[in-house]
Amino acid sequence: MSTEVDLLKLPALLVLLLVHSLYELFLRLLLGFSWARRKLGTVQRRLVLHNETEAEYSTQQMRFEDDVIQYDVRGLDKIPSHLVVMLGPEQPDYKQLARFISWSMAAGVGHVSFYDHRGFLKRNAYLIKNFAKRQPFAKTDQIVWTHQLKKGTVPLRNGYHRLVVVSCFSPEDGKRSVVQTARAISDQLTTGSVASPSDITAELVDQRLQDQFHHIPDPELAVYFGSVCSTYGMLPWQIRLTEFLPLGARMQDVKPSHFVSCLYRFAKCEQRFGK
Protein backbone atom coordinates (compact mmCIF):
# COMPACT_ATOMS: atom_id res chain seq x y z
CA MET A 1 0.00 0.00 0.00
CA SER A 2 2.80 2.43 0.93
CA THR A 3 4.62 1.61 -2.28
CA GLU A 4 1.58 2.67 -4.30
CA VAL A 5 1.41 5.95 -2.35
CA ASP A 6 5.10 6.63 -3.03
CA LEU A 7 4.56 6.01 -6.73
CA LEU A 8 1.66 8.45 -6.71
CA LYS A 9 3.85 11.11 -5.05
CA LEU A 10 6.72 10.64 -7.55
CA PRO A 11 5.32 12.87 -10.36
CA ALA A 12 4.68 15.65 -7.87
CA LEU A 13 8.23 15.38 -6.56
CA LEU A 14 9.59 15.50 -10.08
CA VAL A 15 7.54 18.60 -10.82
CA LEU A 16 8.79 20.28 -7.65
CA LEU A 17 12.37 19.34 -8.51
CA LEU A 18 11.98 20.74 -12.04
CA VAL A 19 10.44 23.97 -10.74
CA HIS A 20 13.24 24.33 -8.21
CA SER A 21 15.87 23.75 -10.89
CA LEU A 22 14.28 26.28 -13.23
CA TYR A 23 14.02 28.82 -10.41
CA GLU A 24 17.67 28.33 -9.50
CA LEU A 25 18.64 28.71 -13.19
CA PHE A 26 16.56 31.90 -13.40
CA LEU A 27 18.33 33.35 -10.35
CA ARG A 28 21.72 32.50 -11.81
CA LEU A 29 20.83 34.12 -15.14
CA LEU A 30 19.49 37.20 -13.33
CA LEU A 31 22.67 37.51 -11.26
CA GLY A 32 24.80 36.99 -14.37
CA PHE A 33 22.87 39.66 -16.29
CA SER A 34 23.25 42.14 -13.42
CA TRP A 35 26.99 41.46 -13.23
CA ALA A 36 27.38 41.87 -17.01
CA ARG A 37 25.43 45.14 -16.94
CA ARG A 38 27.61 46.53 -14.14
CA LYS A 39 30.76 45.39 -15.96
CA LEU A 40 29.61 46.99 -19.23
CA GLY A 41 28.81 50.23 -17.43
CA THR A 42 32.29 50.28 -15.93
CA VAL A 43 33.91 49.69 -19.32
CA GLN A 44 31.80 52.43 -20.92
CA ARG A 45 32.74 54.93 -18.20
CA ARG A 46 36.41 54.06 -18.69
CA LEU A 47 36.11 54.52 -22.45
CA VAL A 48 34.44 57.92 -22.04
CA LEU A 49 37.10 59.03 -19.57
CA HIS A 50 39.86 57.74 -21.88
CA ASN A 51 38.41 59.53 -24.91
CA GLU A 52 38.02 62.80 -22.99
CA THR A 53 41.58 62.53 -21.68
CA GLU A 54 42.91 61.61 -25.14
CA ALA A 55 41.06 64.52 -26.77
CA GLU A 56 42.40 66.95 -24.17
CA TYR A 57 45.91 65.55 -24.57
CA SER A 58 45.63 65.69 -28.36
CA THR A 59 44.66 69.37 -28.31
CA GLN A 60 47.46 70.21 -25.89
CA GLN A 61 49.91 68.20 -27.96
CA MET A 62 48.98 70.00 -31.19
CA ARG A 63 49.32 73.42 -29.56
CA PHE A 64 52.68 72.40 -28.16
CA GLU A 65 53.81 71.22 -31.61
CA ASP A 66 52.83 74.59 -33.14
CA ASP A 67 54.76 76.49 -30.46
CA VAL A 68 57.83 74.33 -31.01
CA ILE A 69 57.71 74.83 -34.79
CA GLN A 70 57.35 78.60 -34.44
CA TYR A 71 60.37 78.63 -32.14
CA ASP A 72 62.48 76.35 -34.36
CA VAL A 73 61.98 78.28 -37.62
CA ARG A 74 62.46 81.78 -36.20
CA GLY A 75 66.08 81.92 -37.39
CA LEU A 76 65.59 80.60 -40.94
CA ASP A 77 66.53 82.95 -43.77
CA LYS A 78 63.72 81.75 -46.02
CA ILE A 79 60.47 79.83 -45.71
CA PRO A 80 58.76 78.27 -48.74
CA SER A 81 55.75 80.26 -49.85
CA HIS A 82 54.19 77.08 -51.28
CA LEU A 83 54.70 73.59 -49.87
CA VAL A 84 53.48 70.42 -51.59
CA VAL A 85 53.01 67.16 -49.70
CA MET A 86 53.31 64.32 -52.22
CA LEU A 87 51.91 60.80 -51.98
CA GLY A 88 53.47 57.91 -53.82
CA PRO A 89 52.35 54.33 -53.16
CA GLU A 90 51.08 55.24 -49.67
CA GLN A 91 47.42 55.10 -48.75
CA PRO A 92 46.18 58.50 -47.54
CA ASP A 93 46.06 59.05 -43.80
CA TYR A 94 43.79 62.09 -43.79
CA LYS A 95 44.23 62.84 -40.10
CA GLN A 96 48.01 62.80 -40.42
CA LEU A 97 47.98 64.87 -43.60
CA ALA A 98 45.78 67.51 -41.93
CA ARG A 99 48.59 68.10 -39.42
CA PHE A 100 50.71 69.55 -42.23
CA ILE A 101 48.21 72.40 -42.47
CA SER A 102 48.68 73.28 -38.81
CA TRP A 103 52.46 72.85 -39.01
CA SER A 104 52.66 75.01 -42.14
CA MET A 105 50.62 77.78 -40.56
CA ALA A 106 52.89 77.70 -37.52
CA ALA A 107 55.98 77.92 -39.76
CA GLY A 108 54.60 80.77 -41.86
CA VAL A 109 54.02 78.75 -45.05
CA GLY A 110 51.21 80.51 -46.88
CA HIS A 111 50.18 77.77 -49.34
CA VAL A 112 49.94 74.03 -48.75
CA SER A 113 49.01 71.57 -51.46
CA PHE A 114 48.52 67.81 -51.45
CA TYR A 115 49.27 65.76 -54.55
CA ASP A 116 48.18 62.19 -55.12
CA HIS A 117 48.76 60.64 -58.53
CA ARG A 118 45.75 58.34 -58.03
CA GLY A 119 43.37 61.19 -57.32
CA PHE A 120 42.18 59.92 -53.92
CA LEU A 121 43.01 63.14 -52.10
CA LYS A 122 41.26 65.39 -54.57
CA ARG A 123 38.12 63.25 -54.55
CA ASN A 124 38.13 63.07 -50.75
CA ALA A 125 39.35 66.56 -49.91
CA TYR A 126 36.46 66.91 -47.47
CA LEU A 127 38.12 64.29 -45.22
CA ILE A 128 41.25 66.41 -44.83
CA LYS A 129 39.00 69.40 -44.24
CA ASN A 130 37.09 67.58 -41.49
CA PHE A 131 40.30 66.69 -39.66
CA ALA A 132 41.69 70.20 -40.18
CA LYS A 133 38.65 71.61 -38.37
CA ARG A 134 39.74 69.72 -35.26
CA GLN A 135 43.08 71.50 -35.16
CA PRO A 136 43.33 74.09 -32.35
CA PHE A 137 43.51 77.15 -34.60
CA ALA A 138 43.03 80.61 -33.16
CA LYS A 139 40.07 82.78 -34.14
CA THR A 140 42.49 84.99 -36.06
CA ASP A 141 43.63 82.04 -38.22
CA GLN A 142 42.02 81.24 -41.54
CA ILE A 143 42.14 78.26 -43.91
CA VAL A 144 41.07 78.86 -47.51
CA TRP A 145 40.26 75.82 -49.67
CA THR A 146 40.82 76.57 -53.34
CA HIS A 147 38.26 73.98 -54.50
CA GLN A 148 35.61 76.25 -52.95
CA LEU A 149 36.81 79.37 -54.76
CA LYS A 150 35.31 80.55 -58.02
CA LYS A 151 37.55 80.37 -61.07
CA GLY A 152 39.87 83.36 -61.31
CA THR A 153 39.36 84.53 -57.72
CA VAL A 154 42.31 85.16 -55.42
CA PRO A 155 42.30 84.27 -51.70
CA LEU A 156 42.28 87.37 -49.48
CA ARG A 157 43.54 87.70 -45.93
CA ASN A 158 40.56 89.81 -44.79
CA GLY A 159 42.13 90.85 -41.52
CA TYR A 160 43.17 87.37 -40.37
CA HIS A 161 46.51 87.16 -38.57
CA ARG A 162 47.55 83.86 -40.16
CA LEU A 163 46.26 82.54 -43.48
CA VAL A 164 47.02 79.30 -45.26
CA VAL A 165 45.61 78.38 -48.67
CA VAL A 166 45.06 74.64 -49.16
CA SER A 167 44.77 72.82 -52.50
CA CYS A 168 44.47 69.20 -53.59
CA PHE A 169 45.94 68.24 -56.95
CA SER A 170 45.83 65.16 -59.16
CA PRO A 171 47.36 64.33 -62.58
CA GLU A 172 44.47 66.03 -64.35
CA ASP A 173 45.81 69.35 -63.01
CA GLY A 174 49.21 68.67 -64.58
CA LYS A 175 49.73 67.86 -68.24
CA ARG A 176 46.05 68.25 -69.04
CA SER A 177 46.00 71.85 -67.82
CA VAL A 178 49.08 72.64 -69.92
CA VAL A 179 47.46 71.08 -72.99
CA GLN A 180 44.24 73.03 -72.42
CA THR A 181 46.18 76.25 -72.03
CA ALA A 182 48.14 75.59 -75.23
CA ARG A 183 44.91 74.96 -77.14
CA ALA A 184 43.33 78.13 -75.78
CA ILE A 185 46.35 80.21 -76.84
CA SER A 186 46.33 78.53 -80.26
CA ASP A 187 42.66 79.44 -80.70
CA GLN A 188 43.41 83.03 -79.69
CA LEU A 189 46.22 83.11 -82.22
CA THR A 190 43.73 82.00 -84.89
CA THR A 191 41.14 84.60 -83.93
CA GLY A 192 43.72 87.36 -83.58
CA SER A 193 43.44 87.79 -79.80
CA VAL A 194 47.13 86.91 -79.79
CA ALA A 195 48.76 88.94 -82.54
CA SER A 196 51.63 86.65 -83.58
CA PRO A 197 53.51 83.53 -82.51
CA SER A 198 56.28 85.78 -81.16
CA ASP A 199 53.81 86.97 -78.52
CA ILE A 200 53.54 83.46 -77.11
CA THR A 201 56.09 83.58 -74.32
CA ALA A 202 56.73 81.62 -71.14
CA GLU A 203 55.30 84.57 -69.23
CA LEU A 204 52.04 84.35 -71.19
CA VAL A 205 51.68 80.62 -70.55
CA ASP A 206 52.52 81.14 -66.90
CA GLN A 207 49.90 83.87 -66.58
CA ARG A 208 47.20 81.69 -68.15
CA LEU A 209 48.04 78.82 -65.82
CA GLN A 210 48.03 81.19 -62.86
CA ASP A 211 44.50 82.17 -63.79
CA GLN A 212 43.47 78.51 -63.54
CA PHE A 213 45.08 77.98 -60.15
CA HIS A 214 43.84 81.13 -58.36
CA HIS A 215 47.25 82.80 -58.71
CA ILE A 216 48.89 80.69 -56.04
CA PRO A 217 52.70 80.78 -56.29
CA ASP A 218 54.63 77.93 -57.88
CA PRO A 219 55.70 75.25 -55.37
CA GLU A 220 59.07 76.00 -53.84
CA LEU A 221 59.30 72.84 -51.74
CA ALA A 222 57.82 69.37 -52.25
CA VAL A 223 58.19 66.75 -49.52
CA TYR A 224 57.58 63.03 -49.92
CA PHE A 225 57.43 59.93 -47.74
CA GLY A 226 59.83 57.03 -48.03
CA SER A 227 63.03 57.01 -50.05
CA VAL A 228 61.78 56.98 -53.67
CA CYS A 229 61.58 60.40 -55.31
CA SER A 230 59.20 60.71 -58.25
CA THR A 231 57.11 63.62 -59.45
CA TYR A 232 54.29 61.26 -60.53
CA GLY A 233 53.32 63.79 -63.20
CA MET A 234 52.73 66.61 -60.73
CA LEU A 235 52.25 70.08 -62.26
CA PRO A 236 55.10 69.83 -64.80
CA TRP A 237 55.06 73.54 -65.64
CA GLN A 238 54.98 74.83 -62.07
CA ILE A 239 57.73 72.64 -60.57
CA ARG A 240 60.62 73.92 -62.69
CA LEU A 241 62.38 75.33 -59.61
CA THR A 242 60.85 73.14 -56.91
CA GLU A 243 63.10 71.47 -54.35
CA PHE A 244 62.15 67.83 -53.63
CA LEU A 245 63.13 66.61 -50.18
CA PRO A 246 62.35 63.35 -48.32
CA LEU A 247 60.66 63.59 -44.95
CA GLY A 248 62.65 60.59 -43.82
CA ALA A 249 59.68 58.73 -42.33
CA ARG A 250 56.57 56.86 -43.28
CA MET A 251 53.34 58.81 -43.32
CA GLN A 252 52.08 57.36 -40.04
CA ASP A 253 55.43 58.05 -38.35
CA VAL A 254 56.11 61.61 -39.52
CA LYS A 255 56.53 64.16 -36.74
CA PRO A 256 57.08 67.92 -36.51
CA SER A 257 60.83 67.30 -36.31
CA HIS A 258 60.78 65.74 -39.80
CA PHE A 259 58.82 68.72 -41.10
CA VAL A 260 61.19 71.27 -39.53
CA SER A 261 64.21 69.33 -40.82
CA CYS A 262 62.92 69.75 -44.39
CA LEU A 263 62.47 73.48 -43.82
CA TYR A 264 66.07 73.75 -42.61
CA ARG A 265 67.39 71.86 -45.63
CA PHE A 266 65.30 74.01 -47.94
CA ALA A 267 66.69 77.17 -46.34
CA LYS A 268 70.19 75.99 -47.22
CA CYS A 269 69.34 75.21 -50.85
CA GLU A 270 70.64 77.59 -53.47
CA GLN A 271 68.24 78.04 -56.38
CA ARG A 272 70.20 78.89 -59.52
CA PHE A 273 67.23 79.68 -61.75
CA GLY A 274 68.56 77.79 -64.75
CA LYS A 275 72.18 78.94 -64.53
10-61 pLDDT, tens per residue?
566 677 777 777 777 777 777 777 667 666 655 555 544 444 444 444 778 8
- Domain limits for position 200: 75-268
Give me the half-sphere count of Cα atoms (radius 13 Å) on the Cβ side of residue 57.
6
Has residue 133 been placed in a domain?
yes
Has residue 67 been placed in a domain?
no
Coil, strand or helix: which one is 169? strand
- Pairing mode, if any, of strands 162-169 and 141-145? parallel
Report how many domains make up the chain.
1
- The set of residues, in sequence order, having a beta carbon less than 8 Å from that of 256 and lying 6+ positions away, is 65, 68, 69, 103
- Check residue 149 and report its DSSP letter: S
Has residue 263 been placed in a domain?
yes
Q: What is the C-alpha radius of gyration for the chain, rounded to an integer number of angstroms?
A: 32
Has residue 89 been placed in a domain?
yes
- Check residue 78 and report its DSSP letter: -
Task: Convert the pLDDT of each residue in 129-145 to its tens digit.
Answer: 999 988 878 777 889 89
Has residue 11 been placed in a domain?
no
Across 5-19, 116-130, 223-237, 260-274, least confident range: 5-19
Q: How many CB atoms lie within 10 A of CB 219?
A: 26
108 neighbors 76 (Cβ within 8 angstroms): no
User: Above pLDDT 70, what percent of the chain?
Assistant: 77
Has residue 191 been placed in a domain?
yes
pLDDT at res. 47: 46
pLDDT at res. 272: 59
pLDDT at res. 10: 59
- Rounded Cα distance, 95 and 124, in Å: 12
Task: Convert the pLDDT of each residue in 90-102 to its tens digit.
Answer: 999 999 999 999 9
- Rounded Cα distance, 82 and 222, in Å: 9
Alpha helices in the chain (DSSP H): 2-72, 94-107, 120-123, 125-132, 175-191, 202-212, 256-268
pLDDT for 241 beyond 50 = yes
Has residue 165 been placed in a domain?
yes
- Average of per-residue pLDDT across 202-210: 73
pLDDT at res. 34: 66
Has residue 65 been placed in a domain?
no
| CATH label of the domain that carries residue 175 | 3.40.1180.10
251 neighbors 222 (Cβ within 8 angstroms): no
115 neighbors 121 (Cβ within 8 angstroms): yes
